[in-house]
Amino acid sequence: MKLFIRMLLEVTSYQLPVTSRKVAKCAKVPKVLKLATLLGKHPSKNTFAHFTDFFNWPLVTGYWLLVLIMVFLNVGCEKEKPLPDMLHLEIDTHDAQPLRQGLYGFNTNMISGDYGYLDPDFVELTKVLAPKTLRFPGGTVGNFYHWEPGGFFENEMASTLNPRLNRRNKGNYVKLQRRRNGKILFDDFMQLCNTLNITPVVVVNLWTGDPEESAAWVNYAKNKGYEVKHWELGNEYYLPHYLNKYPTVETYIAEAKKHAAAMRAVNPEIKISVCATPIGFHKEGWLVKTQQRKWDKGLAADTSFYDAYTVHVYAYKAVRKKEIEEMRGYLMGWIHFAAPEALKYYEKLFPDKEMWITEWNIANPANRVANTQLHAMYVGDFFLKMLTMPNVTQANFHVIAGPGKGFPVFSPITPPKTGTFWKYGGEPESDFGNTIRRAVYPAFQLIGEAFASADTQFNLSIQNQPLLMGTIEYAGKPIPGIQAQVIGDKAAKHFAVLISNRTGEQHTPQLFIDRKHYKGSVTYRYVANERLNATNGGNAEMEGSGKIEVRIQEWTGKATEFTIPKNSFGILKVKR
């Protein structure tokens, strides 16, 4: 019997692949068993003597029970998977679609003359952002722009029914004359686009222009070899500002058809978009803005002359006097609930047409969210939402550059001035020459990095979501705390997982690719801050700190150790 026991113990000591240290670390081992394992390691001569001298059947039975448990736990610990309740990001490379490159773009508006398309600083800052599209000459300014002289006529700048818009137009006209000799040249814009490999989107003038001017512009672009495929027929003519020319949608359609026919006669390959209203994104205005609903229905009744409809998307409630933490719950709720509802509205009206979102941002620039960490989180989160909207093929954030601290991605240093939005100081002394990269700049820089080497969007599912509770209109409604999408190369060798952490808590996810737990190295580049109101120069309601507070940070390590910081947007770079 003693010889038999010695043989069993010796065999166990050579074949058993588990160690006492491994058992002690295994989460499945009870504390008493861990202690026993650490005290009684594999048998030696001394332990054998102990067993032979004090041998009894309960001891043998207990020891072999320990051996069997150790073998079982060794297998379990070697293959142990993350706990079921952990956050999982699961990538399916077999479910893929071409990446819509046109989603990453900016609206330009150079009428103030602060920047020119070929200014070295403007070119360099735009190059870093690496947009796929730019819109020219802008939104409202497109309604007054004449491409051939490359500027505006003074007598047209106050031709709308809105006195405030008229004053702004006249003021910008004077600034442009003083700073740029009144010129915004289409050729300069196209030189920038060709240099940086950017797709242009052009707005033609249906307010003070005519069909012949629009057709001549298309013809000029074609003859110059400019690849300009996307053309918009004016900007926001559904607004009451323009009732003196477009009192109904029928009057707009009649004029739009003339322009479309003249333009297509020159180049039948172009795509044309008409002005739809944003009413689908704003249910609170549904009952009072009947004119906008009639406008959309009118456009939907005659779709023969256009390829797409343009919608401008702004989160208007951002102007509310609410604490910034409340605005988090509202803005993320608006993205989660309002955007899908709006999409249903437009898909029902225009089922076979592309949707172009050629302007999007928070509300007007005079609010407490502008140029803050929350603003950076918002742009990242809304961009991720657009990646889930299959009929949206073009999108341009408003605006890439210009005066002030509210809308622009970057803007000149803005000294405090009483009687304006920018009555508060706190600007950094310098950032990029005389330009400050505002809080949204680093978020867009990260998107640009992700898009730079990507041509495919893969399916990503999220398991065990944390939750964020909505506020204001969405009070008491749970919202997914994480939003994420993944893009990469068609061969699925490189990925960029774009991640928005809407919450004020950090989360540690586990990454799976095609059902396999990925444990390799990753790099996470992100924008995060403890404070939602961290800022790069302040805004209309808040003094800046004099510092750049919202900037890109980076972490590199094993995927199993990756943590998503709270209040953050970032890209997780993965290489297989």
Kindly tell me if the per-residue pLDDT of 456 is higher than 50. yes
Is 446 in the same domain as 460? no
Q: How far out from the chain centre does Cα 442 lie?
A: 11
* The pLDDT value given to residue 365: 85
The answer, yes or no, to whether residue 82 has pLDDT greater than 70, is no
Domain end among 78, 110, 129:
78
Give yes or no: residues 339 and 326 share one domain.
yes
Residues 412 and 343 in one domain: yes
Task: Identify the pLDDT of residue 10.
Answer: 42
Mean pLDDT of all residues in 149-161: 98
Tens of pLDDT, residue by residue over 68-79, are 444 344 444 444
As given in the structure block, the two tokens for residue 25 are 């670390």
Residues 6+ apart with CB under 8 A from 219: 266, 267
Asked, for residue 389, whether it belongs to a domain, the answer is: yes
Quick: pLDDT tens for 112-145.
999 999 999 999 999 999 999 999 999 999 999 9
The mean predicted confidence, pLDDT, of the chain is 88
Q: How many domains does the chain have?
A: 3
Q: What is the pLDDT of residues 216-247, one digit of tens each?
A: 999 999 999 999 999 999 999 999 999 999 99
Identify the band that residue 419 occupies on the pLDDT scale cut at 50, 70 and 90: confident
Rounded Cα distance, 432 and 412, in Å: 9
Could you list the residue range(s) of the whole structural domain that residue 10 is in?
Answer: 2-78
Could you tell me if 71 and 26 lie in one domain?
yes
**Residues 319 and 188 placed together within one structural domain of the fold:** yes
**Percentage of the chain modeled with pLDDT above 70:** 84
Confidence of residue 418 (pLDDT cuts 50, 70, 90): confident
Exposed/middle/buried for 64, CB within 10 Å: 0-12, 13-18, 19+? Answer: middle
Cβ neighbour number for residue 119 with a 10 Å cutoff: 17
The least confident of 106-115, 319-328, 378-387, 515-524 is: 319-328
Same-domain pairing of 482 and 444 = no
Mean pLDDT of 382-408: 97
Same domain flag for 37 and 169: no
Domain for residue 83, yes or no?
Answer: no
Q: What is the dihedral of CA 147, 196, 404, 137, to 10 degrees?
A: 20
Q: Please tell me the pTM assigned to this model.
A: 0.86
At residue 286, the pLDDT reads: 61
Find out whether 456 and 98 touch, Cβ atoms under 8 Å: yes
What distance in Å separates the CA atoms of residue 432 and residue 413, rounded to the nearest whole number? Answer: 10
Residue 500 placed within a domain: yes
